[in-house]
Amino acid sequence: MVAILNSMTRIIAGIPVPNTAMINASIALAEAELPYQGYSHVMRAWLNGQAMLNRLPPSNRSKIDHEAVGVATILHDLGWSNNTEIVSNDKTFEVDGAIAAAKFIRREGGAAWDDQRIQLVWDAIALHTNALIYPYKELEVQYTAAGTVTELLGPELAKQTLGDIVTATQADWDRIIAEIPRPPGRKKYFYDLMIGFCTTKPQVTYGTFQGDWGERYVKNYTRVGHRQIDLMDRILQD
């Protein structure tokens, strides 16, 4: 396990966080690639997740790669970028983000970032919207998702959704928002992203939550003909 607890020398919104070169480089990348709506979201998600990590017993905390959680959470929405070097026309935004983050770490991370750590970040980003899978993955993957869900829903609803992993408090959440405010227009920003994916690369959205926006808002968008049952109907004749 990477020794990271001694690097908790920075405090944001009252929350001690890892102060490493890779964390700071990830913050700079997210700020460069995302508009403030997206950048502020990933930063709040990171702080919520770190607040949870900080409440673990010391023996449990030392078993978790805090830096990997931080990098994954800060970069988890790189797939929302407008950069065509990041965003593909044939992959979900989660996979686009995971690939971009892994490339970034390999370029900037140095020898401390072996294949296993990079894979943790890849998995955490690729799976952060898949609540049927991430609860059964490594703790780094779980805390990346938990911080993100808590930032979106608030701690009480997040705890109802995810359970006891959510230990961030309302006071934590309020301090985070005071430090990194939620600007107006969040709903439009998010809806425009989802509608955009359903418009520009519908084939990767049919099996995802994003398809809900396609069905409601995109003319002629339909999952019918693209579902697993449609495939089985075609190939299973007996």
Cβ neighbourhood burial of 163 (10 Å; 0-12, 13-18, 19+): exposed
Average of pLDDT values for 164-184? 98
Q: Output 226 or 79, whichever has higher pLDDT.
A: 79
Q: What is the pLDDT of residues 126-165, one digit of tens each?
A: 999 999 999 999 999 999 999 999 999 999 999 999 999 9
Domain chopping of the chain, boundaries: 5-183, 185-238
pLDDT score at 8? 80
H or E segment at 17? strand 15-17
Q: What is the CA radius of gyration of the chain?
A: 18
Q: DSSP characters for 42-93?
A: HHHHHHHHHHHHHTS-HHHHTTS-HHHHHHHHHTTTGGG---TTT--SSS-H
Output the pLDDT for position 7: 77
Tell me how far apart the alpha carbons of residues 129 and 65 are, in angstroms, rounded to a whole number. Answer: 21
Determine the pLDDT at residue 1: 46
* Residue 14: C-alpha distances to residues 17, 175, 220, 231 (Å): 9, 7, 49, 52
Does residue 79 surpass a pLDDT of 80?
Answer: yes
Average the pLDDT over 16-38 and give the result.
Answer: 98
CA distance 73 to 89: 23
For the segment 201-238, what is each residue's pLDDT rounded down to a tens digit?
A: 999 999 999 999 999 999 999 999 988 998 899 999 87
User: With the C-alpha atoms ordered 161, 187, 148, 40, is the resulting torsion angle positive or negative?
Assistant: negative
- pTM, two decimals, is 0.94
- At 4, is the pLDDT very low, low, confident or very high (cuts 50, 70, 90)? low
pLDDT tens, residue by residue, 34-78:
999 999 999 999 999 999 999 999 999 999 999 999 999 999 999
Indicate the class that CATH gives domain 5-183: mainly alpha
CA atoms of 180 and 174, how far apart (whole Å): 10
Contact indicator for 36, 183 with CB cutoff of 8 Å: yes
